[in-house]
């Protein structure tokens, strides 16, 4: 680190950006890790149905299965755009 760099340090360094991106993608992938095989297809079909009525982006439909003791919950989360 030289004299100038010593003062430029304030801006977020690339390692921090890497860490934040990793935290998000790893959390996301952990969630989908233990999910049933049919889930991606289910998600796509729900997408198609919703898209007939509202214009939404792929990542606005989230489908997860949570296991809770002796029952499981299918959770469906659809974020609609403001204009809908």
Residues that bind other proteins (CB under 8 A): 1-3, 5-6, 9, 13-16, 18-19, 21-23, 25-26, 29-30, 33-34
Give the other-Cβ count within 10 Å of 32's Cβ: 13
User: Which residue from 26, 75, 78 is spatially nearest to 54, judged by alpha carbons?
Assistant: 78
CB-nearer residue toward other proteins: 31 or 57: 31
- Nearest-approach distance from CB 14 to other proteins, in angstroms: 6
Task: Tell me how far apart the alpha carbons of residues 50 and 69 are, in angstroms, rounded to a whole number.
Answer: 31
CB-nearer residue toward other proteins: 39 or 46: 39
- Nearest-approach distance from CB 49 to other proteins, in angstroms: 30
- Nearest-approach distance from CB 15 to other proteins, in angstroms: 5
Rounded to 5 degrees, φ, ψ at 75 are: -105, 130
């Amino acid at each position: 680190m030289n004299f100038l760099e010593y003062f430029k340090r304030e801006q977020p360094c690339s390692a921090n950006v890497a860490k934040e991106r990793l935290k998000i993608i790893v959390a996301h992938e952990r969630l989908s890790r233990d999910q049933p095989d049919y889930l991606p297809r289910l998600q796509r079909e729900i997408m198609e149905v919703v898209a007939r009525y509202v214009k939404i982006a792929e990542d606005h439909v989230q489908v997860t299965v949570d296991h809770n003791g002796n029952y499981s919950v299918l959770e469906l989360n659809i974020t609609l755009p403001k204009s809908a």
